[in-house]
Structure formats: C-alpha cells, structure tokens
C-alpha cells in the first residue's frame, strides 16, 4: 500500500516551464503526414497490413502510429486482438502501434487486402482506394506519425491498442473537430505544399488526443501518462527532465519531490515499474540517442551533457539500455525496438 506523502512546505519550487508531455514529444522528434484517401461503398471489408511493403510510400518508415479519420459514412474497425470499434462521420481512431486490422461496413462476401487495390493519389506520397458493393458510401482519410527513435516507449508503449475520439462530443472536441476539418480540406484540395501542412496538423491531432486520454485516465492507472498526473512522481520527473545531467540520488530526488525515499520508490514502482534512478538513466540515454543522430557533437561531449563523467561509463550504460553502442547507433544501426532484451525508456504497464 502506498504511503501518504509528507508536506511539500519545505521542498524546492518546481522547475519553471517544465511541461513533461511536451518535453517527451520533443525528444522523440515526431513527424507525420497523410498517406491515404479512400472511398468505399457497402458492403466492404478491407484488411490493412501490419507492414507496408515496397509498393507503398510508407515502406521506408519504421515506428509509426496510424490515424483513421472518417470523413463520411460509418464503418467498423477490428483490431488484431478482435476488439471492434464503431465509428462514423467526424470520428477518428488512433492505433499507436500499427498491427494488421480490418475495417468495413455491411456483410461483405470476402475480405480484400488493401495492398491489392491501393493506387497512387493526386498528392505525392498519398495513396487512394475505391472499392465496395455500391451501397452506402464511407470516406476515410489516414495519416501517420513516425518517431525517429525507438525510445519513444514512454508515451506510446503504455497506450491501448486503439483510441477512438468522437469529435462532436461537446466543447472539448472543438479543437479535434477543427483540426480534422482542416486535414480533410487540405486532402480534398491537393494543392502544392499540402504535405507540410498535413504533417503539422497530424502532430497537433496526436497531442490533443493524448491530452484527452490523460484527462480520462481512471484512478489506479499505471504507466508514464498516469505518472505525470501523480503529484509526487510528476514533481520528481519535472526535476529530472529539467536537469538530467545532475548527479541525482534517491535522497535528492525524494527531497525535491517532497517525499521520503520509501514513498517515492513505491510510487515509481507502482506507476512505472522501475526505481527513480533507473528512470534517470533511461531519460539520459533517450536524450543521448537523439543527440547522437541529430547533432555532430562528439560522443564524449554528449556523455558529459547527460551526466556521465567518462565516455566508458556512458558507453556501458547506453549499450545496457539500447542493446547497441553509441557509435553504431549514430551510424543508424539499432536493434529491434521491441525486442524483449531491450530496456526501452519508461517501459511500464498499460495505462487505463
């Protein structure tokens, strides 16, 4: 049982301006756009693959999440685990980790693979599809988000396999509805420069869906998104993210969090499945991984910036967390991001 924390009265102020979700999303460098615009008539049932092959613009992408935006009509999505989600005009469905899934409307005689009927669209990098039995029309626009690094697990790994948002549900849906509307308008116009605008809008859409998901998390949820709502753990995380290179100890983290070592450790383990200092290491490696690929700084300088006194110690920590060396990571050689032997940053039980 988690103990009641002591008073915050004598603890340091929170570091100014630290938005944990924004910091994490900035570190994983999200990019995205729209890749599909399809029209379907009932009855139809389409199989969307887990992987995109060389025939599609998404073949080069590795770690992607998919948005399905319903521009018109209705359909049912069925995930790889068999769970069904009914959506209609204006709704969106986010799949944080793309797996094979189906979508359709009506009692179709067969399931058709999307790869067999997809065609190039009017905008470079976008596909189109027209298929179905001639009945009620459903129009779907699909977008993606890609993370440049696999250590994006703190945000993504604790999400459910699918998130559905009904954009017409009250004022809280206004930003989602307007963003979806802008995306659909850009796709319909197919004007020069659309892809850049679509990329920015997909990022806005993702952040707003995350914000809504966090706000709805029930008491007792676990994972990184639940942790940033906890008054003790979030306080410690803010200090870690504000100064990752500081020589943090269990005692100093407990002090800035306004907690005892025991309470802080309990809450970290309950929410994140790991001790506080283990999280410090993972966040340092996350930042280092980003700098190795995104800057020309030497490995020694990057190691010092994230709190390692020697390059050798940094190399050992980096390999322990990622499964590869800093040099090989910089060259673009990295292991399977979800291999069981990889200690992905922030890996924790599922939220919700």
Domains of the chain, start order: 28-216 (2.60.120.280), 223-330 (1.10.10.60)
The pTM score is 0.79
Instruction: Please give the pLDDT value at position 170.
Output: 59
Instruction: Please give the pLDDT value at position 281.
Output: 93
Instruction: Please give the pLDDT value at position 194.
Output: 80
- Residue 251 is encoded by which pair of tokens? 């005692």
pLDDT per position as a tens digit, 135-184: 999 999 998 888 765 554 567 777 889 999 987 665 556 778 888 888 88
pLDDT band at 349 (very low <50, low <70, confident <90, very high): very low
What CA–CA distances, in Å, run from 51 to 31, 55, 65, 74, 142?
Answer: 18, 11, 12, 25, 15
Instruction: Please give the pLDDT value at position 30.
Output: 79
- What phi and psi, each to the nearest 5 degrees, are found at residue 187? -65, -40
- Per the DSSP assignment, residues forming a β-bridge with 95 are 66
Give the mean model confidence (pLDDT) for residues 189-198.
79
pLDDT band at 127 (very low <50, low <70, confident <90, very high): confident
Distance, CA of 204 to CA of 183 (rounded, Å): 11
Of 144, 150, 149, 64, the closest CA to residue 338 belongs to 150
Instruction: Please give the pLDDT value at position 344.
Output: 39
E strands in 49-155? 64-72, 74-78, 84-88, 91-95, 101-105, 112-113, 119-120, 127-132, 137-147
Residue 335 or 318, more confident: 318
Q: Are strands 112-113 and 64-72 parallel, antiparallel or unpaired?
A: unpaired
Instruction: Please give the pLDDT value at position 144.
Output: 86
Residue 260 has pLDDT above 90, yes or no: yes
Give the mean model confidence (pLDDT) for residues 325-343.
64
**Which residue's entry shows tokens 């993210």?**
241
Give the mean model confidence (pLDDT) for residues 195-216.
87
pLDDT per position as a tens digit, 31-53: 888 888 999 999 999 999 876 55
Longest dimension (CA), the chain: 70
Instruction: Please give the pLDDT value at position 251.
Output: 97
Residue 133 has pLDDT above 70, yes or no: yes
Of 48, 73, 51, 70, the closest CA to residue 62 belongs to 51
Residue 13: burial class (beta carbons within 10 Å; 0-12, 13-18, 19+): exposed
């Amino acid at each position: 049982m988690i103990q009641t924390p002591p008073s915050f009265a004598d603890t340091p102020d929170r570091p100014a301006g630290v938005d944990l979700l924004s910091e994490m999303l900035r570190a994983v460098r999200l990019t995205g756009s729209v890749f599909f615009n399809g029209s379907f008539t009932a009855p139809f049932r389409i199989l969307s693959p887990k992987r995109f092959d060389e025939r599609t613009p998404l073949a080069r992408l590795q770690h992607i999440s998919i948005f399905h935006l319903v521009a018109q009509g209705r359909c049912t999505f069925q995930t790889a685990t068999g769970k069904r989600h009914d959506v209609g005009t204006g709704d969106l469905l986010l799949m944080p980790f793309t797996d094979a899934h189906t979508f359709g409307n009506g009692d179709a005689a067969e399931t058709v693979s999307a790869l067999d009927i997809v065609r190039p669209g009017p905008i470079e990098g976008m596909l189109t599809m027209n298929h179905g039995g001639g009945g009620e029309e459903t129009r779907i626009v699909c977008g993606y988000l890609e993370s440049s690094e696999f250590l994006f697990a703190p945000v993504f790994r604790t999400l459910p396999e699918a998130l559905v948002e009904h954009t017409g549900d009250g004022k809280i849906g206004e930003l989602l509805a307007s963003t979806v509307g802008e995306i659909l308008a850009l796709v319909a116009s197919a004007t020069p420069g659309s892809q850049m605008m679509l990329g920015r809008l997909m990022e806005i859409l993702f952040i707003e869906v995350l914000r809504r998901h966090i706000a709805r998390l029930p008491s007792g949820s676990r994972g990184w998104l639940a942790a940033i709502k906890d008054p003790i753990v979030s306080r410690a995380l803010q200090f870690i993210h504000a100064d990752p290179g500081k020589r943090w100890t269990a005692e100093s983290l407990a002090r800035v969090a306004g907690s005892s070592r025991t309470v802080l450790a309990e809450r970290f383990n309950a929410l994140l499945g790991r001790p506080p200092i283990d999280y410090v290491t993972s966040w340092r490696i996350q930042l280092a991984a980003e700098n190795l690929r995104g800057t020309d700084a030497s490995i020694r300088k990057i190691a010092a910036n994230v709190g390692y006194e020697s390059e050798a110690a940094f190399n050992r920590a980096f390999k322990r967390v990622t499964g590869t060396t800093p040099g090989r990571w910089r060259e673009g050689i990295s292991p399977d991001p979800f291999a069981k032997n990889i200690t992905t940053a922030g890996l924790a039980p599922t939220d919700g």
